Structure 1
Amino acid sequence: MPARETRQASRGWWDRNADDYQREHGGFLGGAVGARFVWGPEGLDEAEARLLGPAGSLAGRAVLEVGAGAAQCARWLAAEGARPVALDLSYRQLQHARGAAAGGGGTAPFPLLQADAAALPFRDGAFDLACSAYGAVPFVADPAAVIREVRRVLRPGGRWVFSVTHPVRWAFPDEPGPEGLSVAASYFDRTPYVEQDEDGRAVYVEHHRTLGDRVRDVVAGGFRLLDLVEPEWPEWHDQEWGGWSPLRGHLIPGTAIFVCEAA
């Protein structure tokens, strides 16, 4: 599917669905003024995982959040003393980041930018770190282009950490119950998941890459892969989130987090 069509579908879908998404998941992610950085539906928290660096190491660091949504992660970064910039394709998601949609009327204490992750509006080497929690990477036709752009705006040695749906999940139905435990499709089929309107226009698109594809994209983009984190479903977590659930989470991985360093 062409990059332009994918981009238009993603912008439109998130603009239309941002309110419902934040209403349903905003509390788990940290709320309207959240101070949580959650890597995925399993609830792995950056305050504990420290994938971006040890406690105390973020102070004063310039950090780019790609596909920030309502910028809960950027708010947590700011509370850690970092200097975040939150970028998203959806204007409505960024309105939530400003607090206006929730009625707070506040302004985020850091820049919020509407832009395409494959064409970042920053100079080379502008950031010390970059991160994305389920943002942008799964929703673009050419994720390698996003990774190359992130590498361009990072300083040498800068860390890039991003999470996506674990690629193995594409072989299973996106169902939280027992019906989601039987393989239903080929893991190697890279056909994107597309929802269309009555006129046949794409209104939601998500792209599949195998685990090997993701690793090759990272390396070709100028990064070293430091770690691949597959969060286990914690015992305390009893909530379902779409196809993520305690039942499935205890048996198969749901999230893959790539911890990378700019070469």
Structure 2
Amino acid sequence: MAKFQTLAEAVAENLRDGDTAAFEGFTHLIPHAAAHEAIRQGRRDLTLVRMTPDLVYDQMVGMGMARKLIFSYAGNPGVGLLRRVRDAIEKGWPNPVEIEEHSHAAMANAYEAGAAGLPCAVFRGYRGAGLAEVNPNIRSITCPFTGETLAAVPAIRPDVAFIHAQKANRRGDVLIEGIVGVQKETVLAARRSVVTVEEIVADFDDVHPNACVLPHWTVTSIVEIPGGAHPSYAHGYYPRDNAFYLAWDKIATDRDGFLAWMKTNVLESGPGAFAGRVAALNGRG
């Protein structure tokens, strides 16, 4: 059953050293505020799982939190490299990071298998692709009904999932609108889940029938953090901060410059800063 907490409480209770943790959101509703709190609390030795790891994992890897990444495509969307991730993989700074790379389809199917309590995901994929040559967790299976050769990957079952959403009601149900990636499947697959939201409301009014609603019994903790997805966007609340994605490429280039930025904007900051950043962003619009 969902309980309402501060961000510091939710992270302290649900994220532990050595966990497999997923911070999910596909271009939209990326849980940056939750990731920053995890950085402030100094978690270590994590296996970080994410479709399209972008700035949020560049920051977490650069702060030495990860021992392994399970992912599909790593980059700064529309800009280029994840410089801190590349430094960790190629040069072991600030610590070596193991990688397990998949396609988007494999990750989505693996989350869905985890949500269903299955040991693996079976799907059509990886035909003619070379990833199986470097990833031993990509295997093949013969369909017992058709004889067709299919791809198989292990189910993803995180210890803890973090997502951001637009609203939660006072009962603890969560409403996600706009682009939905694998947030629903990630929460259902995880043993524990923390959902940060733009606002807590009495109830959901005039919700369209295809809206994604996570019922309160699927969620461990709910935290109200206005602006908690910045610099990604939250449909109906604020746009994507494209200027920040461009700026990040320069911030992350240099180790010392990166650490100085993180000290000022994450370690010595708090979740309340996100609302101010979004207010400034909306003001620019």
Tell me the TM-score normalised to structure 2 length: 0.36
Tell me the TM-score normalised to structure 1 length: 0.38
Larger Rg: 2
